[in-house]
Amino acid sequence: MSTTEITAPAGSAAGVDPITFEVIRHKLWSINEEGSQTMTHVSGSPAVHATDYNFGIYAADGEMAVVGVYLLVPIYTGAMAIREFLSRFDDIAEGDVFIVNDPYIAAEHQNDVQFCAPFFHDGELIAWIGCMAHQVDLGGMDAGSWCPTATDVYQEGLRIPPGRIVREGKVNQELWDVVIANSRMPFVVSNDFTAFLAGLKVSGERLTELCDRYGGDTVKAVMGQSIAASERGLRELLQELPDGTFEHTSYLDRPQTSSDPGAPESELVTVSCRLTKSGDELTFDYDGSDEQSAAYGMATRAGTVGAVATLMLCLFGSDLQWNHGLMRPVTVKARDGLCVTAQPPTPVSGGAAGANWVAMNAAAGCIAKMVSFSEDHKGLAFGPGDGSWQLGQFGGLNQYGEPFASMYMDSLLWGGPAFADRDGVDSGGAMVILGGGTQDVEQHEIGQPLLYLWRREVADSGGAGRNRGGNGIEFALVPYDTDEVSGVLATHGCALPNRTGIFGGYPGSVARYEMVSGVDALAELRAGRAITRLDAAGGDHVILPSVTSGAIIKAGEIVNVRLQNGGGYGDPLDREPERVLRDLLDGAVTPETARDIYGVVTSGDAIDEVATTARRAALRDERRAAMIPPGQAPAAGATIQEGTWGDALRFVRRDGRSLVECAHCAAELGPVGADWRALTGTIVLRPEQASPLIAVHEELAVQQQVCPSCAASLWVDVVPRDGMGWRDFTLQSAGEPAAS
* SS3 call for 85: helix
State phi, psi for 498 to the nearest 5 degrees.
Answer: -75, -20
Query: Taking all residues of the chain, what is their mean pLDDT, rounded to a whole number?
Result: 92
pLDDT at 694: 96
Percent with pLDDT over 90 in the chain: 80
**Could you tell me whether strands 473-479 and 450-457 are parallel, antiparallel, or unpaired per DSSP bridges?**
antiparallel
For residue 33, what are the CA distances in angstroms to 67, 200, 226, 284, 297? 10, 11, 18, 32, 32
Q: How confident is the model at residue 1 (pLDDT cuts 50, 70, 90)?
A: very low
Residue 99 confidence (pLDDT) above 80: yes
Q: Which amino acid is at 33?
A: E
Q: Per-residue pLDDT tens for 360-374? A: 999 999 999 999 999
pLDDT at 265: 82
Alpha-carbon distance of 216 to 207, in angstroms, equals 9
**In the sheet that 512-517 helps form, which strands lie side by side, from edge to edge?**
450-457, 473-479, 558-562, 512-517, 540-543
Beta 281-285 vs 330-333: how paired, if at all?
A: parallel
- Overall residue count recorded for the chain in this entry: 740
Q: What percent of the chain has pLDDT over 70?
A: 96
Does the pLDDT of residue 167 top 60, yes or no? Answer: yes
Mean pLDDT in residue range 71-78: 90
Q: Which pLDDT score is estimated for 443? A: 81
For 193-252, how does the pLDDT look when each residue is reduced to its tens digit (9 = 90+)?
Answer: 999 999 999 999 999 999 999 999 999 999 999 999 999 999 999 999 999 999 999 999
| pLDDT greater than 60 at residue 640 | no
Q: What pLDDT sits at residue 633? A: 45
Return all residues near 290 (Cβ < 8 A) that are at least 6 apart: 269, 270, 271, 338, 339
Q: At 359, is the secondary structure helix, strand, or coil?
A: helix
From CA 340, how far away is CA 47, in angstroms rounded?
A: 25
The Cα–Cα gap between 72 and 377 comes to 23
Question: Can you tell me the mean pLDDT for 688-705?
Answer: 96
**Lowest mean pLDDT segment, chosen from 36-40, 74-78, 320-324, 405-409:** 405-409
- Identify the pLDDT of residue 250: 95
Query: Mean pLDDT across the stretch 118-124?
Result: 97
Could you give the CA distance from residue 215 to residue 208 in angstroms, rounded to a whole number? 9
CA dist 254 and 494 (Å) reads: 8
Number of H helices and number of E strands within the chain? 15, 31
What DSSP letter does each residue of 564-627 carry, written as one string? Answer: --PPPBS-GGGS-HHHHHHHHHHTSS-HHHHHHTS---EETTEE-HHHHHHHHHHHHHHHHHHP
pLDDT tier for residue 88 given thresholds of 50, 70 and 90:
very high
pLDDT, position 674: 66
Summarised one tens digit per residue, pLDDT across range 561-598 is 999 999 999 999 999 999 999 999 999 999 999 999 99
Give tens-digit pLDDT for 436-495. 778 888 888 988 999 999 999 999 999 999 999 999 999 999 999 999 999 999 999 999
Planar angle of CA 247, 248, 254, nearest 5 degrees: 150
Domain ranges for the chain, please list them: 18-229, 387-574, 575-738
pLDDT tens-digit map of 666-690: 999 988 776 899 999 999 999 999 9
Burial class (CB in 10 A: 0-12, 13-18, 19+), 194: middle
